[in-house]
């Protein structure tokens, strides 16, 4: 009997254990199904270009699936580089999504800027909290007010200046850049990257966009940006007076403030009017000013030509500042160009003189017409590539160009 009872008790206990285990599985399964808390909502980032007048930025809240319940969530706005009330109108509240629907919007009033000032883009944050009948998958979104394309940009005008008259000279042409746009009857905007980056393995793509070249507050601005066009990761501006304005001899003054940084290569220069027939360097190149961004306190003046054997030849010199660098204030870069001779100046200080005798019997192409080129190159054989230390955007400001003869 004892053995029989024990066996019965054992069998009974085993059955209870199996039953309890089955109940646990059913419970876990039901809990698992019960853990479905309903739809999840997300909010998406938004960008809007700042207008001269007020506009509305719309943030979209999206449910991953509809619900039979009316869903709600609270929101608040938080200042960032965009600050209320100057840049946007701060607000808070509750957003509701009726049953069966999957989206809603939060509208934020963005303040206009009548001056269209160019500055780094501005940002603020939308925060979601306290969801009802849903969960929050993405609870924050960034609102970006795009101001980097504004058409108004000012800069400190301090620095060296030169006069409008010189004894023995007359002003025959100038561009003071006092208007609201580039004078396309004078200037061409070159577009593209050329073969291998305009022949120097440069890294930028030149555009005709106002993002890269514009006139504002009495200055021409050429702006280099870190942005991609095709296989090129930078954009910039390059402008010429080819076929529109060309000169031979005289004094040329260009007042400019320069960009600096590794891989940055601003230049104010000239090429022979006959480049299409003579080619480079046979047409002759006059570099009034070049700067390599890793040496921000030094500019270079150079001549390029074809030697007697038809190969490239050059001669030049540099002018270092005693203090500061060329990005801190305006300087005037000049040449005095006469028959068989050219002299280079920074702020009326002569630092280079090249004459026909320096070409050692090679053809001297610098007694013929030349046109102007202004550009800001990125990378290339001479300056090398930008690195993590290089800040963008980089800008060259040109206050004026004047030709006296």
In this predicted structure, the answer to whether residue 9 has a pLDDT above a threshold of 90 is no
Least confident of 20-29, 41-50, 396-405: 20-29
pLDDT at 21 over 80: no
From the CA atom positions of the chain, what is the Rg in Å?
34
Residue 38: pLDDT band (50, 70, 90) is confident
How would residue 110 be classed by pLDDT, with cut points 50, 70 and 90? very high
pLDDT beyond 80 at 97: yes
Q: Which one from 204, 285, 329, 391 is the annotated catalytic residue?
A: 285
Q: Which of 227, 290, 329, 391 is catalytic?
A: 290
Which domains can be identified in the chain, with CATH numbers?
Answer: 40-146 (2.60.40.2030), 171-404 (2.60.120.200)
Determine the pLDDT at residue 8.
41
pLDDT, average across residues 163-184 = 97
CA distances from 19 to 5, 22, 306 (A): 21, 5, 99
Q: Is 290 a catalytic residue?
A: yes
Give 316-327 pLDDT, tens digit per residue. 999 999 999 999
CA–CA separation, 78 and 197 (whole Å)? 44
What average pLDDT does the segment 301-324 reach?
Answer: 96
Query: Residue 17: pLDDT above 50?
Result: no
pLDDT tens figures, 47-96: 999 999 999 999 999 999 999 999 999 999 999 999 999 999 999 999 99
Instruction: State yes or no: cis peptide before 281, omega within 30 of 0.
Output: yes
Q: Which one is predicted more confidently, 3 or 292?
A: 292
198 falls in which pLDDT band (50, 70, 90)?
confident
391 noted as active-site residue: no
Give CA separation, 332 vs 2, 270, 335, in Å: 116, 16, 10
Checking if the pLDDT of 22 tops 50, the result is no
Q: Which residues contact 331 (CB under 8 A, 6 or more apart)?
A: 159, 160, 255, 256, 257, 258, 346, 347
- The mean pLDDT value for 268-276 works out to 97
- Quote the pTM value: 0.87
């Amino acid at each position: 009997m004892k053995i029989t009872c024990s066996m019965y008790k054992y069998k009974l206990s085993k059955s209870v254990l199996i039953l309890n285990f089955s109940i646990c599985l059913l419970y876990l399964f039901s809990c698992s199904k019960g853990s479905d808390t309903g739809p999840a909502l997300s909010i998406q980032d938004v960008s809007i270009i700042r207008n001269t007048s007020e506009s509305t930025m719309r943030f979209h809240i999206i449910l991953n699936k509809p619900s039979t319940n009316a869903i709600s969530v609270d929101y608040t706005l938080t200042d960032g580089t965009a600050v209320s009330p100057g840049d946007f109108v701060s607000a808070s509240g509750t957003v509701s999504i009726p049953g069966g629907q999957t989206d809603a919007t939060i509208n934020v009033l963005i303040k206009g800027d009548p001056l269209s000032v160019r500055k780094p883009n501005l940002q603020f944050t939308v925060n979601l909290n306290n969801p009802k009948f849903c969960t929050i998958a993405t609870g924050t979104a960034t609102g970006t007010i795009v101001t980097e394309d504004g058409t108004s940009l000012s800069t400190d005008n301090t620095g060296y200046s030169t006069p409008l008259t010189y004894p023995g000279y007359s002003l025959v042409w100038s561009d003071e850049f006092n208007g609201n746009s580039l004078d396309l009857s004078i200037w061409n905007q070159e577009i593209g990257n050329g073969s291998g980056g305009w022949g120097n393995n440069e890294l930028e793509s030149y555009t005709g966009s106002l993002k890269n070249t514009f006139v504002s507050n009495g200055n021409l601005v050429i702006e280099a940006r870190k942005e991609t066009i095709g296989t090129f990761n930078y954009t910039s501006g390059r402008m010429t007076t080819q076929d529109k304005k060309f000169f031979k001899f005289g004094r040329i003054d260009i007042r400019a403030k320069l960009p600096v940084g590794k891989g940055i290569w601003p230049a104010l220069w000239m090429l022979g009017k006959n480049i299409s027939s003579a080619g480079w360097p046979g047409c002759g190149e006059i570099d009034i000013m070049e700067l390599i961004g890793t040496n921000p306190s030094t500019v270079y003046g150079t001549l390029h030509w074809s030697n007697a054997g038809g190969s490239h030849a050059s001669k030049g010199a540099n002018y270092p500042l005693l203090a500061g660098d060329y990005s801190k204030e305006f300087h005037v870069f000049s040449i005095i160009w006469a028959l068989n001779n050219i002299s280079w100046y920074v702020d009326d200080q002569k630092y280079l003189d090249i004459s026909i005798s320096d070409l050692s019997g090679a053809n001297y192409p610098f007694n013929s017409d030349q046109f102007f080129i202004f550009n800001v190159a990125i990378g290339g054989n001479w300056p090398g590539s930008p690195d993590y230390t290089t800040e963008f955007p980089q800008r060259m400001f040109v206050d004026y160009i004047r030709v006296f003869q």
